[in-house]
Structures are given as structure tokens and as C-alpha cells.
Amino acid sequence: MELSMSVLKTITVRCFAELNDFLPAGKKQTPFTLTLKEPVTVGEVAEILGIPLSEVDLITVNGTPAGRSYRPLENDYIAIYPVFENFDVSSLQTVQKIPLRITRFILDTHLGKLARYLRMLGFDTLYRNDYSDEEIIETARDQKRIILTRDKLLLRSPRVDHGYYVRSIEKHAQLTEIVKKFDLYSQFRSFTRCMTCNTELLPVSKETIRDRIDPDIYSCFDQFYSCPSCEKFFWRGSHFERMERLIRDIIESKTENDQSV
């Protein structure tokens, strides 16, 4: 009987930009070698390193774009790049799925405050504090949504087409990170969604809600909006002004970054 022996191959790998967040200290921001048994694909190389494929856009082998199914040869140099939101790589053979035409999100249980802020900017954002990973993945696939999560394991599912691991912990920093990552600046439709339930708000006549809001609020404001789902009313008070300042800060940050380039 003939025994088959696995052939070992040594390759060099370099991961770029935020993909280094998934690597141990000794492999960050530098080329490193891996010795692997074959058969193995470059997509499997990324997974072995703990990098979710939903965050990988471009893989090159010895400087040439390659698909996820390419099987490295001895001494190949593998470069793995993150999803490019601000650069046109349409002429290259990327491994990412076709971008979604409409930017919609679904968030895991760790990102409730971020969900409210994304809704504040007008983005269709689903969130529940009892979502299971399976529910998130199925909903994202069915409704063509981007998964935002603080759970690296969730993104490693091969059924995740569009997903992103949120690095920041503080809520304002998270919002800025997502706006910058997905280049959302031109898509703002601020204060058009209910921050509580995600339903689109409707303008209502001031006179029709006189008996349903506080008299002091009624006398101070003229524009009111209602949520047809949770039946709440909204007006442009101090909370609105604070949110407007946050939006201005995000936009001004982008302007400053653009000018420094």
C-alpha cells in the first residue's frame, strides 16, 4: 500500500491597513512566512490568519491579482488588502462581492448606540439586543444589508457577503469610523428616521397634535414629525442641536483630511 504524504510549502504573506487588526503583534505591518500543508487556497490563508473574507477585497500573488481559489506555490508572495471604499479598483480582479446599491445595515447586540446614530443620519439600520448570529446573517443576506459587529467570529462565516468589524468602542468614534469607512458623507438624510425603531418619520401639522404634547414644547416649536410605528413625536430641540454639531464635526473632519492630502 502506498502512503500519501502532505507536501509542505512556505509562502510569504503581507497584510495591509486595518487587516492588521486581526493579526498577532509579530505579524502586523510586516511580511512574514507561513509553512502550510497543501492543498490550500489564498482564501484559506486569510481564514487561517483569522481575517474574515468579508473584509478582504484584493489578493495579489507576486504582484498579480488572484482569486480566492488560487493555490500558492513554493515561495509565493501573498499580499492581502482590505475593502477599498475610497479607491477605484474596478480594473483589478478583486475578490469582494459586488457593492450593494443601497447602503443598509444590520448591527449585532454590542452596537445599540451606533444603531441610533446611523438612524439619525438617515440610514436604514436594523438592531435588536437579542439578535442571534444566525438571524443577523440570514437577514443580511435576504435584505442585502451590511453587517456591523464587534464579534470577529461572526464575520468568519462563509455566508457573510458584506460585513465589517467595528474597531472603536466609544459611540461617537464608532459613528465617525463607519462614515469614513463606507464613505457615507453624500448619503446623509439626517433626522428622517426614528432613532428608536428605524421607521421613516412623517411631518405632522402642529395643530393636529396640540393635545398630545407638552404645552411648553408646543409653544416653542413649529415643526414636528411623527413615527407611524411607535407613535412618538419629534421636534428640533436641544437634542437635535447636539446631533447637528456631531454631524458638522464629522463633515469638517473629512474636509480637513481632504485638504491635508
Q: For residue range 144-173, what is the model confidence (pLDDT) as tens digits? A: 999 999 999 999 998 998 999 999 999 999
Phi/psi of residue 6, nearest 5 degrees: -70, 140
- The pLDDT confidence band at residue 95, using thresholds 50, 70 and 90, is low
Q: What is the pTM of this model?
A: 0.75
SS (H, E, C) 61-76: ECCEECCCCCCCCCCC
Distance CA 108, CA 110 (A): 6
- The pLDDT confidence band at residue 259, using thresholds 50, 70 and 90, is low
**Tens of pLDDT, residues 12-69:** 999 998 999 999 999 999 999 999 887 899 999 999 999 999 889 899 999 999 999 9
Distance CA 123, CA 103 (A): 7
Which set of grid coordinates corresponds to residue 201?
Answer: 418619520
Domains, the chain, with CATH or none: 8-82 (3.10.20.30), 105-191 (3.40.50), 202-235 (no CATH)
Q: Has residue 4 got a pLDDT over 60?
A: no
Which set of grid coordinates corresponds to residue 21?
Answer: 487588526
Q: Has residue 77 got a pLDDT over 70?
A: yes
In this predicted structure, what is the pLDDT of residue 244?
80
In this predicted structure, what is the pLDDT of residue 236?
83
Q: Has residue 261 got a pLDDT over 90?
A: no
Phi/psi of residue 239, nearest 5 degrees: -65, -40
- Positive or negative CA dihedral for 73, 78, 84, 87? negative
- The pLDDT confidence band at residue 246, using thresholds 50, 70 and 90, is confident
Quick one: average pLDDT of 226-247?
Answer: 86
In this predicted structure, what is the pLDDT of residue 3?
44
In this predicted structure, what is the pLDDT of residue 242?
82
| Chain centre distance of CA 102 | 13
**Tens of pLDDT, residues 194-203:** 999 999 999 9
CB 39 within 8 A of CB 71: yes
Angle between helix 171-181 and 112-120 (nearest 10): 60
Q: How many helices (H) and strands (E) does the chain have?
A: 7, 12
**Tens of pLDDT, residues 216-227:** 999 999 999 999
CB 108 within 8 A of CB 128: no
Spell out a b/e string for 219-253, using b for 16 or more CB atoms within 10 Å of the CB, else e.
Answer: eeeeebbbbeeeeeebbeeeeeeebeebbeebeee
In this predicted structure, what is the pLDDT of residue 255?
64
Distance CA 52, CA 45 (A): 11
In this predicted structure, what is the pLDDT of residue 87?
45
Q: Has residue 96 got a pLDDT over 60?
A: no
End-to-end CA distance of the chain: 65
In this predicted structure, what is the pLDDT of residue 104?
95
In this predicted structure, what is the pLDDT of residue 257?
64
